[in-house]
């Protein structure tokens, strides 16, 4: 029974919170009443059995609880009309226990679709008038039911700081009049991009090298769950599906990305038998459906690159010319020096290190990516493959000075030793 409630928590928390915000406009009340509804489920489900539609039961229970509380507050402050306006069933429904109402309404809703306000919730959490860290935190808190303490641990900030961030974000929504809605058509593309950016950032919280503790892994899992939900709520948005495919394809390789010591294993050295074939198959299927809509975007292209890597039997079987073309397309749609650096690697693999090196040197000469260790590290790899070992060793040393984590420094040191070894 605990498991049934626990499963409902992950699946339904966002729906319950969204429904209460939709009918009351009160974010704090929504969280409190969602919490209450789940506590009530823990009491009554063992006795009465799990309702046929747990989500509808929880939503109705939470909404009724919210209306009860507003009504009581309204009675106290003699603002009864406000509550009556909010209560679609009218004052008569106030009679009888909240539980009985919840059951009745859930049964009544059995045939109909329960209104899903989660899309409105996602867009509101990711409103550009909120600072990005607040968007990230609020999305997690409202949509996944992760507690403030869990979110704080995942992002390595004190719980008090995270609580203030959430309080501040909810206050701004209230004070500044940020609407609780799906943006109109003319705003939809840029606002969807903002939502996808937040979800990708959440995914990376547990995916960045050296950052994957259990709290971060949970955030990554929730990011995948939310993106999956978004593809259902926004079926006409191929970039949402593209992002889901990208996440699934990355996640399928997660187990092989680090060795026993927790060090990063580069793609070409990964044990491909440890890749999750089922995850790769799902990612590829999601991507193919998205690409069939013929509206490519940066996430679909990145997913296509990930799919080519994931489907190659070994490093030498990778379709590098195709990957180089995809990076060129990505550079056109979403230009940036990091994309250009990745393109250089693909070009080197497809057409030889000399051509890749020319692209890296152009980036270096333009002063792009100053202080970014992967620029000299990439340069070093290409120089090594060209047999220019002395220059390669110098570039590895430069990369070592810039590398931000110990895991990356260890990796570079090993490369440097190997290069210096061939020098002698």
Partner 1 sequence: MKYMLLICSEGPFTADPAEMDPQPWIDMAGSRRLTGDRLRDAEDATTVRVRGGATLTTDGPYVETKEQICGFDVIDVADLDEAIEIASKHPMAAYGMIEVRPFWNG
Site for partner 1 in 250-309 (CB under 8 A): none
Instruction: Pinpoint the alpha helices (H) of 78-157.
Output: 80-86, 98-108, 118-125, 132-144, 148-154
331 by Cβ neighbours in 10 Å (0-12 / 13-18 / 19+) ranks as: middle
Q: Which of 179, 213, 235, 321 binds partner 1 (CB under 8 A)?
A: 179
- As measured in angstroms, the least distance from the Cβ of 25 to partner 1 is 12
Instruction: Kindly state the tokens that stand for 50.
Output: 């799990």
Site for partner 1 in 49-78 (CB under 8 A): none
The CA distances from residue 282 to 203, 241, 292, in Å, are: 17, 11, 16
Q: Candidates 77-85, 172-180, 241-249, 409-417 — which segment interacts with partner 1 by CB under 8 A?
A: 172-180
Tokens at 56, concatenated:
């509808």
Instruction: Indicate if the alpha-carbon torsion angle 18, 24, 29, 35 is positive or negative.
Output: negative
Helix (H) or strand (E) holding 168: helix 159-176
- Residue 208 binding partner 1, by CB under 8 A: no
Please pick, from the candidates 90, 177, 335, 421, the single residue that binds partner 1 as defined by CB under 8 A.
177
Of 110-118, 171-179, 303-311, 400-408, which segment contacts partner 1 by CB under 8 A?
171-179
* C-alpha–C-alpha distance, residues 358 and 54, integer Å: 59
Site size toward partner 1 (CB under 8 A) is: 9
Q: Which of 50, 114, 163, 178 binds partner 1 (CB under 8 A)?
A: 178
The full DSSP string for 9-23 is HHHHHHHHHHHHHHH
Residue 183 binds partner 1 (CB under 8 A): yes
Spatial distance between the Cα atoms of 102 and 89, rounded to a whole number of angstroms: 12
Of the candidate spans 7-15, 178-186, 341-349, 358-366, the one that interacts with partner 1 by CB under 8 A turns out to be 178-186
Q: 125-164 mask for partner 1 (x: CB under 8 A)?
A: --x-x-----------------------------------
The yes or no reply on residue 187 touching partner 1 (CB under 8 A) is yes
By CB under 8 A, what part of segment 359-378 binds partner 1?
none
CB of 128 to partner 1, least distance (A): 9
Among 2, 47, 85, 175, binds partner 1 (CB under 8 A): 175
Q: What is the dihedral of CA 171, 172, 177, 182, to 10 degrees?
A: -100
Q: Which two tokens stand for residue 137?
A: 């935190």
Nearer to partner 1, 187 or 333 (CB): 187
Judged by the rule CB under 8 A, the positions of this chain that interact with partner 1 are: 127, 129, 175-179, 183, 187
């Amino acid at each position: 029974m605990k498991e049934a409630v626990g499963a409902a928590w992950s699946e339904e928390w966002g729906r319950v919170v969204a429904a209460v915000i939709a009918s009351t406009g009160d974010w704090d009340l929504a969280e409190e009443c969602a919490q209450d509804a789940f506590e009530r489920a823990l009491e009554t489900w063992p006795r009465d059995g799990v309702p046929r539609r747990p989500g509808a039961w929880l939503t109705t229970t939470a909404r009724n609880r919210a209306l009860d509380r507003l009504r009581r507050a309204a009675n106290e402050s003699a603002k009864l009309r406000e509550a009556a306006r909010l209560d679609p069933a009218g004052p008569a429904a106030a009679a009888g226990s909240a539980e009985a109402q919840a059951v009745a309404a859930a049964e009544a809703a059995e045939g109909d679709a329960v209104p899903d306000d989660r899309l409105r919730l996602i867009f509101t959490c990711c409103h550009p008038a909120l600072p990005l860290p607040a968007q990230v935190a609020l999305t997690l808190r409202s949509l996944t039911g992760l507690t403030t303490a869990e979110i704080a641990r995942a992002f390595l900030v004190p719980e008090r700081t995270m609580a203030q961030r959430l309080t501040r974000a909810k206050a701004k929504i209230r004070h500044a009049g940020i609407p609780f809605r799906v943006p109109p058509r003319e705003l939809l593309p840029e606002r969807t991009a903002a939502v996808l950016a937040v979800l990708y950032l959440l995914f990376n919280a547990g995916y960045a090298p050296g950052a994957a503790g259990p709290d971060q892994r949970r955030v990554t899992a929730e990011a995948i769950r939310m993106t999956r939900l978004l593809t259902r709520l926004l079926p006409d948005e191929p970039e949402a599906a593209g992002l889901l495919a990208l996440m699934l394809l990355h996640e399928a390789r997660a187990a092989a990305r680090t060795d026993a010591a927790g060090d990063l294993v580069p793609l070409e050295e990964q044990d491909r038998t440890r890749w999750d074939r089922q995850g790769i198959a799902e990612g590829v299927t999601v991507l193919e459906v998205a690409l069939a809509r013929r509206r490519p975007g940066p996430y679909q292209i990145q997913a296509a690159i990930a799919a080519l890597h994931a489907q190659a039997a070994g490093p030498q079987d990778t379709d590098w010319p195709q990957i180089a073309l995809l990076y060129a397309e990505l550079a056109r749609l979403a230009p940036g020096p990091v994309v250009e650096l990745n393109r250089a690697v693909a070009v080197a693999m497809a057409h030889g290190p000399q051509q890749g090196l020319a692209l890296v040197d152009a980036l270096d000469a333009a002063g792009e990516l100053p202080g970014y260790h992967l620029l000299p590290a990439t340069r070093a790899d290409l120089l090594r493959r060209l047999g220019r070992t002395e220059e390669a060793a110098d570039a590895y040393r430069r990369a070592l000075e810039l590398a931000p984590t110990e895991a990356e420094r260890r990796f570079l040191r090993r490369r440097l030793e190997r290069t210096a070894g061939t020098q002698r």
